[in-house]
């Protein structure tokens, strides 16, 4: 199984010992993350650390542990699928076009609990509750 991970799902893995963290830790899958994930993580790092109730060192260790289980997709790999992704997602939520492009580029599904992804029909969407049943 190959999954492009939505930022909100990734953040849930940092906040607490959650279902998302268990999925990343135990599901036999390739987890893909894009630069948007990193940018949003950096932007919200203090808030996430506070919600996780962790000191800076342990939070960085957790980030390293989770990110190590993920494959980073460089923006340049999305370019070839960008126009198709725009056609699929831009009218629904243009902020998520990159996730569609990543899924197209890797042949992966998307892991997200955001309901707007369900409005498109090209890429299979997995909710956390669906993946939890596989762990």
Ordered DSSP codes for 15-49: HSS-HHHHHHHHS-SEEEEEHHHHHHHHHHHHHHH
Max Cα distance, the chain (Å): 43
In which residue are the tokens 């940018």 written? 39
69: its two tokens? 């289980």
pLDDT at residue 132 above 90? yes
The β-bridge partners of 34 are: 73
Nearest-angstrom CA–CA distance, 75 and 101: 10
Rounded to two decimals, the pTM is: 0.90
- C-beta of residue 17 within 8 angstroms of C-beta of residue 125: no
pLDDT at residue 128 above 80? yes
- Domains of the chain from N-terminus onward: 2-129 (3.40.50.1010)
Instruction: Give the mean pLDDT of 4-9.
Output: 93
- C-beta of residue 135 within 8 angstroms of C-beta of residue 23: yes
Nearest-angstrom CA–CA distance, 17 and 49: 13
pLDDT category of residue 36 using cuts at 50, 70 and 90: confident
Specify the higher pLDDT residue, 7 or 2: 2
70: which DSSP letter? E
pLDDT tens-digit readout, 57-100: 999 998 888 889 999 999 999 999 999 999 999 999 999 999 99
60: its two tokens? 């960085």
């Amino acid at each position: 199984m190959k999954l492009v991970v939505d930022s909100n799902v990734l953040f849930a893995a940092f906040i607490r010992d959650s279902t998302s963290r268990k999925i990343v830790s135990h599901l036999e899958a390739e987890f893909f993350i894009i630069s948007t994930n990193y940018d949003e993580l950096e932007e919200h790092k203090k808030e996430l650390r506070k919600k996780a109730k962790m000191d800076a060192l342990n939070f960085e260790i957790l980030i390293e542990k989770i990110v190590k289980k993920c494959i980073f997709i460089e923006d340049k790999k999305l370019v070839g699928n960008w126009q198709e992704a725009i056609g699929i997602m831009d009218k629904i939520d243009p902020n998520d076009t990159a996730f569609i492009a990543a899924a197209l580029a890797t042949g992966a599904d998307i892991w997200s609990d955001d309901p707007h992804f369900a409005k498109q029909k090209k890429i299979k969407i997995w909710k956390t509750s669906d993946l939890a049943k596989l762990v």
